[in-house]
Amino acid sequence: MQSFTWLFIIVGTIVLIAMVNSYFNWWLKSIIVIYYGVLSFLFIVISNRINEKYSGIAPVPEAYWDKNSQWAYTASNLFLLPFIAVLL
């Protein structure tokens, strides 16, 4: 879990900003918390699956880097693009 420390810090900051925003209704705040909670869970599970699939193989194959990079790119878009909408 130490590798996901920054994920928890970023998600916690996003949720905190959404919760203190007085313009959001309680149901919108709930949707934001659920969305980021589910997305964090999926990110950790899928990252661990990718790591387990290629663990113990030396040198690390190119397929690992491709899958891991694509998943990180997709997850960063899923995390940050809705956050931009929250800020607006």
Residue 1 has pLDDT above 70, yes or no: no
Q: Residue 64 has which token pair?
A: 């690992």
pLDDT above 70 covers a percentage of the chain that reads 99
Residue 88 has pLDDT above 80, yes or no: no
pLDDT-derived band at 3 (thresholds 50, 70, 90) equals confident
83: domain range? Answer: 2-87
* Residue 35, pLDDT score: 95
- CB-based contacts of 78, cutoff 8 Å, min separation 6: 39
Query: pLDDT digits over 25-52, tens only?
Result: 999 999 999 999 999 999 999 999 999 9
Tally of domains within the chain: 1
What pTM was estimated for this model as a whole? 0.84
Cis peptide before 59 (omega within 30 of 0): yes
